[in-house]
Amino acid sequence: MSSSSAAVGRGEKAGKPTMREALVAAAFRLFLERGYEQTTVDDIVALAGVGRRSFFRYFPSKEDVVFPDHERCLADMTAFLAAGADDEPVHRVCDAARLVLLMYTENPAFSVQRYRLTRQVPGLRAYELSVVWRYERAMAGYLRARFAGLRDGTLRADVIAAAVVAAHNNALRSWLRADGKGDAEAAVDHALEHVRAAFGSAAVPPVTEGPDDVVVIVSRRGAPLWRVVQELETALGRG
């Protein structure tokens, strides 16, 4: 696969690339030939055969053309989390992290190219970290809402979100360092299993009260286990 074709996303598979995809392809071709710092927006639009206004219609900056799908993925993740009000929270954020993985595995060659480029350009690495932070904040925001009213609910939410991102990125970067070879989904699932084991409802520590302490919880039939555990923690003052 040529450098320019590797940079084009899903649209190329269906037919003629869109202008957005053509700009990404042109940018990565030049980044590989000249280097990122030596390539200007004018160079990119000249190769793509469009004007500067067309570039900035799709990308606010040169950095954004390196990460063309992250805004879409972040929006998808936010919507996915919002639709999971009745799911076990830790499992939901682990499933949300898989949306990021799918974005990378849609086009492994492009993802590997981008990984190599960000390793070479400190400014892009900093930009990438800011993108990762936005994913983490989306997960933490969802968990904070789910743990509202529980003791240390905000702390728990932030710790779990950070753990999900760390586990996901550990597996993802191993896959990228291997040039996109191997089963990325299996690797990420394995990494996320550590998060579920540590923070899922099954990992809630047992209640150790005195022999005379009796707590009665009334819950609707069919309520998920995590909800029952949450109600129990609240009743005992452990939430």
- Token pair in block for residue 224: 């998920």
pTM for the model stands at 0.77
What was the pLDDT predicted at 83? 96
Q: Which of 43-47, 75-79, 115-119, 214-218 shows the lowest mean pLDDT across its residues?
A: 214-218
From 48, 65, 82, give the residue that closes a domain.
65
Residue 57 neighbours by CB distance under 10 Å: 13
Instruction: Burial-class residue 203 by CB neighbours within 10 Å (0-12, 13-18, 19+).
Output: exposed
Dist. CA 235–CA 239, nearest whole Å: 8
218 lies in some domain = no
Question: Could you tell me if 7 and 77 lie in one domain?
Answer: no
H helices of 15-107, where?
19-34, 41-48, 52-58, 62-66, 70-82, 89-105
Kind and range of the H or E element at 187?
helix 184-199
Per-residue pLDDT for 121 more than 90? Answer: yes
**pLDDT average, residue stretch 72-80:** 96
CB 153 within 8 A of CB 147: yes
* Residue with tokens 């492009």, as numbered in its chain: 110
234 lies in some domain = no
Per-residue confidence band for 69, with pLDDT thresholds at 50, 70 and 90: very high
Dist. CA 44–CA 51, nearest whole Å: 9
Per-residue pLDDT for 11 more than 60? Answer: no
210 lies in some domain = no
CB 203 within 8 A of CB 195: no
What was the pLDDT predicted at 223? 66
Q: Which of 3-17, 33-47, 53-67, 156-170 shows the lowest mean pLDDT across its residues?
A: 3-17
What was the pLDDT predicted at 85? 87
Q: Which of 34-38, 48-52, 95-99, 213-217 shows the lowest mean pLDDT across its residues?
A: 213-217
Question: Could you tell me if 54 and 82 lie in one domain?
Answer: no
Of 148, 152, 153, 132, nearest to 67 (Cα)? 132
Percentage, residues of the chain above pLDDT 70: 77
Domain that holds residue 56: 3-65
10 lies in some domain = yes
What is the identity of the amino acid at 51?
G
What was the pLDDT predicted at 227? 67
What was the pLDDT predicted at 171? 97
Per-residue pLDDT for 32 more than 50? Answer: yes
